Homo-oligomer: A and B are copies of this chain.
């Protein structure tokens, strides 16, 4: 766990005053491990602002966190979530540049799927005036990831081509929008067949994940592509590197091939790892190729690159204000329906981002859960039994 991890709210069973709802992970595993529970309200520490959360974003990485499929996960139980939008409710000591009432987005080292979250100011950004809270919650992780990869690492320029995997996802849709702003860009994409109708107009060429996309791309562009953005890993890493043009750049930024079922699979872990070939820099010299990795979580919480992030967010807010980018939101859900929302991502059905809104009413459940467990019934939406936190 990072040194500067946000403050973990405590589960309160005694005093009902000063409580807030939070989406807690009872233990690593399937969707039913997620519980909406009352915990004691967070307070802002030195240098932190307290945010009244209006909406939170769900990222594919949250599926991996839930499964325990990340390095050094926090101990369960804990409140999940890495991004939110909201209103500043209170200021900790020594906070400058923020006022109570500011509309902000924030990025957190877990703990943001709650009604209140305290965040160090370096990771809080005032929202553009015209941005609503749902867009705000869907903004940071997708667009910052997409921007840094395309422009800081990839140096994506006029006339170049890019391969976007999972083009229908949150980052995929952000990549499509940002790439479209590049003159004469060619956008190759892969996505599950069920999403093609919804997104095909946003790309130049769209293929099924399971197709031999390397051959298809080579038919269109025998030289290959300039930038490959890979969130799949495993065998797709080698394919991505093989399809690079001279001076092309391969960027690994996720490993969704590891998530094959609802719970962590050591087999898919091991398979994905072993499928990725190690590479000598001397081979890259022979071939004029570039390989790199991008891990926003490391950058934010281990490597503390605040000034880099600040520059990127400012640039993205300008593009938003100019109407050049706008989050694509697949659907919005109540905290209590987080299980159903996550199941859509497991099934690779979402187009754009899944957002949770703590003010929304949960969907009526077909089988009524026991009255006492209402706020615990995170997984009821997907038809699973509600379960108490440990």
Residues of A within 8 A of B (CB): 71, 148, 152-153, 155, 233, 237, 241, 246-247, 249-250, 252-253, 255, 273, 276-295, 298-299, 303, 305, 308
Contact = CB atoms under 8 A, between A and B. Distances in A.
Contacts of A233: 282
B246 A285 contact: no
A284 B293 contact: yes
26 contacts: A148-B247, A152-B155, A153-B155, A233-B282, A237-B281, A241-B281, A246-B303, A246-B308, A247-B305, A247-B308, A249-B292, A252-B282, A276-B280, A276-B282, A279-B281, A281-B292, A281-B293, A286-B293, A286-B298, A288-B293, A288-B294, A288-B295, A288-B299, A290-B290, A291-B291, A292-B292
Contacts of A303: 246, 288
Main secondary structure of the interface of A (DSSP, over half): mixed
Given A152-B247, A276-B280, 6 more contacts: A155-B155, A247-B305, A281-B291, A282-B293, A288-B299, A292-B292
Contacts of A298: 246, 286-288
Top-4 shortest CB links A-B: A285-B293, A290-B292, A284-B293, A246-B303
Contact of A305 (B237, B241, B246, B253): B246
Contacts of A305: 246-247
B282 A273 contact: yes
Contact of A294 (B285, B293, B294): B285
Contacts of A241: 281
Given A247-B153, A278-B279, A289 B286 contact: no
Contacts of A279: 278-281
A292 B284 contact: yes
A214 B249 CA distance: 27
A293 B283 contact: yes
